Structure formats: C-alpha cells, structure tokens
C-alpha cells in the first residue's frame, strides 16, 4: 500500500516538474539580441504593447518611482514624456 502511494506521488511529482520546466519559458518576453540595451527600440520592445504604444506602461509607473526607472533606462524619460 505504501509503495503504491509513493509511486503515485513520484509519478505526479515528475509530471508537475516537467510541466513547470516547459511552462516557464512561455512567460518570458525575450528581447531581440540585435537591439542595443537601453535604446529606444529596446525599450519599446520590452515595455510597449503589441501596437508599440508605450502609453499604458508609462501611465502605470508612479511618479515617485519614475526616478528609479530613469536611472535604469535613461531613454525612458524621453519616450514617456517624464520631466
């Protein structure tokens, strides 16, 4: 009885592990290796919606955290129209 339970748990553990390993890359947004990090094209590729519109992303960043974003991505201020 115990062996049957352990085999069942092991089988489900393997199934869940394989499912997790296959699912994780599906959620990643991969940047094009041809784009220069931090360039306008890079930022649009990373943060814009499918139409290339940065407005939803720019509006979602709170004014208090804009400086941190500008430190990471200097070109972001120009694309978003932040002061």
Which has the closest alpha carbon to 74: 38, 47, 48, 46? 38
The per-residue pLDDT for 56 is 94
Residue 65 has pLDDT above 90, yes or no: yes
Asked if 56 and 49 touch (Cβ cutoff 8 Å), the reply is: yes
pTM for this entry: 0.59
Q: Choose between 68 and 27: higher pLDDT.
A: 68
27-58 pLDDT, tens digit each: 656 667 788 888 888 898 888 888 889 999 99
Residue 10 has pLDDT above 80, yes or no: yes
The per-residue pLDDT for 30 is 63
What are the boundaries of each domain within the chain? 2-80
């Amino acid at each position: 009885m115990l062996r049957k339970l352990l085999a069942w748990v092991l089988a489900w553990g393997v199934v869940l592990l394989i499912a997790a390993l296959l699912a994780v890359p599906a959620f990643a947004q991969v940047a094009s290796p041809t784009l220069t990090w931090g360039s306008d094209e890079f930022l649009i590729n990373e943060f814009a919606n499918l139409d290339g519109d940065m407005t939803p992303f720019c509006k979602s960043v709170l004014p208090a955290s804009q400086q941190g974003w500008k430190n990471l991505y200097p070109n972001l201020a120009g694309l978003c129209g932040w002061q």
